[in-house]
Structure 1
Amino acid sequence: MKLLQALFFPPEQPGGVSSMIPYLQERFHSPRWEMELFWLPKRIRNKGQEEPIFHTFDWREFESSPVVAKYIQTYRDYLWWTRLRIQKPYDLIHSHHPIPGMAMKAVFPDTPLIQTVHSSYERELILNGRIKENGLEHRFLVSLYKELEFISDRLMTVSNSFKHYMTPYVERPEDIGVIPNGFDEKRFKPVPHENVVPQLITVCRLVPAKGLDVLLKACAELKERGHDYVLHIIGDGPSRQELEEMAKELGIYQETIFYGYTLHPEEFMPFFDIFVLPSRAEAFGSVFAEAALSCLALVGTNVGGIAEQIEDGVNGLLVPPEDPMALADALEKVIGDPLYRYELARTAWDKAKNQYSLSRSVNELKKMYLQFRPR
């Protein structure tokens, strides 16, 4: 069976999709399966001229928005690149972003399409202050869900919470499937260690949606309470300078290390103690599964896919979003009690191995793909 995994970002781009899709090829390498990856290179800009076709709404109602205009041009570029580069047919296409899905269906209308929605671009833009809720851009982006439902043979997402989020925007929400991201167990090797000072780590893009301002306030409270710790922030983004200034103003800059972007944080994640990320929204939150597989104690917010991964007090701690004091209280529990911290981490590791392994995801994907095999 010839499969195409259609991505938007290159495979090395950090994020949920890149944590799983590039590692599928090894598992599908057999005479029975033939899998290839396809994406839009960053150098392709403003090449496409083809008029996009939407079946469920008129996109021109929104074209006055620069955000929408950029999105449409990127769609045109992906169409141009697809027609230029793909010559042979596939038995099945699995898209992991709306733009590849729409482009692939336009180029290969008779090829079955599975569309997985991994995250909400509109929520990210709203939380990062780029667009307004219910504004022109928001309405355009949520209209895409019904379009994806229309063109797809199977519409998927990565968590039950995100399936619920998509429900108002589609005709048949009950038909949305859920397969969580899977993670190659061989990439994660827990390392026995003892840090005299507890080491906190977070890995994310530095944008408001990730709630790092809340984390810094919580860490300032921990210092006020007399706790020693080091906070390691791995990632880059537009909020970095603001966050560094905030750490200085809160008096915790000496306890905080900003690393910038790192390609494979899982290689040294096992040497830390506590993973913490107070996101304001997460469709799944792949980095929590990665931290669990590294045998770290987890502290996160009770939102989206994070709350599906963490059972509060069993394999991690959950706190409300936007609450620095609650976050400080949770961190205080795991900082002050190494045994409790280890019990949470071990239980998180067990759950991640059982529920978020790449092997399990591959098995579920294979069963789904075989429903579309050529007769």
Structure 2
Amino acid sequence: MKKKILITSFDLAIGGVERSLIGLLNQIDYAKYDVDLLLFKHEGEFLSNIPDGPNLLPEEPSYTTFRKSIQQIVKEGFYPIAISRVIAKYSGVLHGKVKKVEEPGYLSIQYGWELTTRHLPKLNKEYDVAIGFLWPHHFIGEKVKAKKKIGWIHTDYSNIYVNKKIEKKMWRKIDDIVVVSEECSQTFLDVFPDFKEKTTVIENILSPDFVREQAKADIPKEISNLPGKTILVTVGRLTHAKGLDEAIRACKKLIDEGFDIQWYVVGYGPLENELRNLIMKLGIEKQFILLGKKINPYPYIAACDIYVQPSRYEGKAVTIREAQVLGKPVVITNFPTAKSQAENGFDALITECGQNGIARGIAKMIVDDEFRGQIVSNVLTKDYGNENEINKIYGLINN
């Protein structure tokens, strides 16, 4: 008899976690497992990439409220959820101010789920295994009946601030914790050492054949590769974590030093206006270009001379591996988990965080032809495929 599996996430908007989920769904053996996919919202550019195997469950209106405004929630008649969201919002803001937290967004999300989960309906169906693919995991912990519950971590706990009491309470209801890299595992266990025995590292599943196929699917018309000009590309959400403000300043620094560069950013997010204002302030509108959402980012990566990841922190940046699969020289900042992404001097250049480090790293990659050529040679000969990671997931499911 097939095991009944539930996989939950929020939606399939463009993002690294969502691409990783599609990678997982494409690797599951549906002859052996009966999989229900629960998306809180049936939206996102990757919806059409769901393979034939999983059964997409109908959308439940109350589950869709988490990324809606409080005003919209009231309009739709979910009054207890709206009241809880108001309390959660001010609780998160107050906690963040008291602790002087630089990025209080994780606190707001925590309080939101902690206070509103009680108002959500439970799923009627019972499962052998429930997998929460996107943090936090209050939903599978409290609203799903399953013999085993597995929660994924995609971020670096050394760079986020969470309410430890709420977090511990949530993780105690999860049987297995999956972390996407050794470094992410260590930063999580530094904060919550009690959960060591149930923590496992399973990398995001990446198919090199899929990446290469998608890279040939389109030609990015926005990018004109003129002689002598160096094309830089970054893919990521426009958030504090991705360090794009530092990238903009690094771009200005390189231009002032005489480098002929054009830097394209594929992605969207809450800091778009702030970043556009900084680009205008520095007068580099023609050199630093925000392209917005792209369903398929791979042709843009394929079109670049150098791929740059200027992040302040990452869990496991799928885009770095994708750029390497496409044979690109990669410059990444030395965020805490960087060494899980690449080997400095072999298949990437790991440079200091901040505008000066980013600028120096890019400059070296541009001017040192021999170094850049060796990086490209190395990434072209290395096998970045890790489809066998699915066997670790099967191990957790069947144990």
Q: TM-score, normalised by structure 2?
A: 0.75
**2:180 maps to 1:158:** yes
> Which residue of structure 1 lines up, in the alignment, with residue 238 of structure 2?
206
Matches within 5 A, 1:132-147: 138-140=161-163, 142-147=164-169
Deviations 1:109-132 (A, max 9, x none): 5520111111258945xxxxxxxx
Q: Tell me which of 330, 334, 347 is aligned to 2:365.
A: 334
Cα pair 2:131 2:140 within 8 Å, conserved = no
> Which residue of structure 1 lines up, in the alignment, with residue 56 of structure 2?
none
Length, aligned pairs only: 338
Q: Tell me which of 265, 288, 302 is aligned to 2:297.
A: 265
> Which residue of structure 2 lines up, in the alignment, with residue 185 of structure 1?
208
Equivalent position SS for 1:295: coil
Cα pair 1:234 1:258 within 8 Å, conserved = yes
Q: Tell me which of 356, 364, 368 is aligned to 2:396.
A: 368
Deviations 1:289-330 (A, max 9, x none): 1222222211111113322112111111111212x2222121
Q: Which amino acid aligns with 1:114?
A: I
Question: Which consecutive unaligned segments of at least 5 residues does structure 2 have?
Answer: 44-60, 66-72, 82-86, 94-104, 217-223
> Which residue of structure 2 lines up, in the alignment, with residue 254 of structure 1?
286
Question: Which consecutive unaligned segments of at least 5 residues does structure 1 have?
Answer: 51-59, 125-137
**Bigger relative contact order (CA 8 A; separation at least 6):** 1
Mapped partners of 2:108, 2:352: distance in 1: 36
Shift in alpha-carbon separation, 1:358–1:69, aligned structure 2, 3 A: same
Matches within 5 A, 1:107-146: 107-119=143-155, 123=159, 138-140=161-163, 142-146=164-168
Mapped partners of 1:74, 1:149: distance in 2: 13
> Which residue of structure 1 lines up, in the alignment, with residue 261 of structure 2?
229
Mapped partners of 1:166, 1:334: distance in 2: 33
Q: Which amino acid aligns with 2:378?
A: T
Q: What's the % identity of the aligned pairs?
A: 21
> Which residue of structure 2 lines up, in the alignment, with residue 5 of structure 1?
7
Mapped partners of 1:75, 1:263: distance in 2: 33
Shift in alpha-carbon separation, 1:70–1:206, aligned structure 2, 3 A: closer
> Which residue of structure 2 lines up, in the alignment, with residue 325 of structure 1?
356
Shift in alpha-carbon separation, 1:176–1:145, aligned structure 2, 3 A: farther
> Which residue of structure 2 lines up, in the alignment, with residue 55 of structure 1?
none
> Which residue of structure 2 lines up, in the alignment, with residue 282 of structure 1?
314
Q: TM-score, normalised by structure 1?
A: 0.79
Cα pair 1:283 1:304 within 8 Å, conserved = no
Equivalent position SS for 1:363: helix
Mapped partners of 1:36, 1:184: distance in 2: 23
Mapped partners of 1:278, 1:70: distance in 2: 25
Cα pair 2:151 2:177 within 8 Å, conserved = yes
Q: Which amino acid aligns with 1:360?
A: N
Shift in alpha-carbon separation, 1:98–1:227, aligned structure 2, 3 A: closer
Shift in alpha-carbon separation, 1:22–1:200, aligned structure 2, 3 A: same
Q: Which runs of 4+ in 1 moved over 6 A?
A: 60-63
